[in-house]
Amino acid sequence: MSDPEHQAFTTRDLAIAALLGLIVLIASQAPTLWGFWAQKQALHPDLVFNGSAFTYADESATYWSWMRQARDGRFFLTDLYTTEDHPRNYVNLLWWGLGAICRLTGWSVVAVYSGSRVILGALLIALLFRLATRLFTTRGERLSCFIVLLLAGGWEGLFRTLGPLPGVPRLGSPAWWMPEISTFFSLMLFPHFLAGFICVVAGTLAMIAGWSALSQAERDAAYNNNLAVANSAELIERRNAASAAFRKAHPAGLDVAYGPALLATARLLL
């Protein structure tokens, strides 16, 4: 990243990235915002919006149960959705931390859960922009990379709305029912996906920073096995001698087609 052609990003670049990130963040929260709005407007008086997207409401209920336990002062959590006896020994610092925020502020579990997606999402978007600036040198490349990091993956699932039609099967994709491999759908759904994503990107940035701080000589030395192993030359010579002795003792196993050679080797070993 010390390339002299590496272009410094400008205020305009930051403004564009911030605008893109804000649009993506707001769009990812649109289903939740619409649900609360529809509830307030009583658009569906026979229904209640619980604060979770329909596709993963069951999972959200599990996470909320852990937050409620933490809100009530518990650190070791239990599974409330089983009738089997089990010890209370589950620990999750994220859900415990969000539950502690509920306890300290008096805010509802759903409000903290939804708000954490926005805060963690904003942090993730900032880190993704930073990653794009470290991976590419020109402003156009960085912006393109940033857009891909924000929006790639999962959109093929929207084609499910096309089926079933004549000649069009019901379509699906792992990127649709595994939102953790998509930035946008992680922003839409789960705080813990975002927290894990943040750790991955932050770790990657830390490795890039450490690698960038090394000189070319230090990088070469890091991958020089001859320097890493003091008696490398001796070990190589011993290996070559052993190999030559084995070939001399078993000449029938040389220059044989793969299948017969495999059988010959098996006979030698057995």
pLDDT in tens, 86-107: 777 788 999 999 999 999 999 9
Has residue 163 got a pLDDT over 60?
no
Q: How far apart are CA 80 and CA 103, in angstroms?
A: 19
**What tokens appear for 205 in the block?**
């940035």
Tokens of 57: 């409401």
Residue 122 contacts residue 25 (beta carbons within 8 Å): yes
Measured CA to CA, the distance from residue 270 to residue 265 in angstroms comes to: 9
Q: Is the pLDDT of residue 37 over 70?
A: yes
Looking at residue 81, what is its pLDDT?
81
Q: What is the pLDDT of residue 172?
A: 63
Q: Which is higher by pLDDT, 193 or 255?
A: 193
pLDDT in tens, 190-231: 999 999 999 999 999 999 999 889 898 888 888 887 777 878
More confident residue, 89 or 128: 128
Structure-token pair, residue 74: 């518990």
Q: What is the chain's length?
A: 270
Distance CA 109, CA 115 (A): 10
Q: Would you state the pLDDT for residue 12?
A: 85
Asked if the model's pLDDT at residue 159 lies above 70, the reply is: no
Averaged pLDDT, 29-33: 91
State residue 1's pLDDT score.
Answer: 45
**pLDDT for residue 270:** 62
Q: 77 pairs with which residues across the strands?
A: 90
Q: What is the 3-state secondary structure (H, E, C) of the chain?
A: CCCCCCCCCCHHHHHHHHHHHHHHHHHHCHHHHHHHHHHHCCCCCCCCCCCCCHHHHHHHHHHHHHHHHHHCCCCCECCCCCCCCCCCCECCHHHHHHHHHHHHHCCCHHHHHHHHHHHHHHHHHHHHHHHHHHHCCCHHHHHHHHHHHHHCCCHHHHHHHHCCECCECCCCCHHHHCHHHCHHHHHHHCHHHHHHHHHHHHHHHHHHHHHHCCCHHHHHHHCCHHHHCCCHHHHHHHHHHHHHHHHHHCHHHCCCCHHHHHHHHHHHHC
Least confident of 19-33, 53-67, 89-103: 53-67
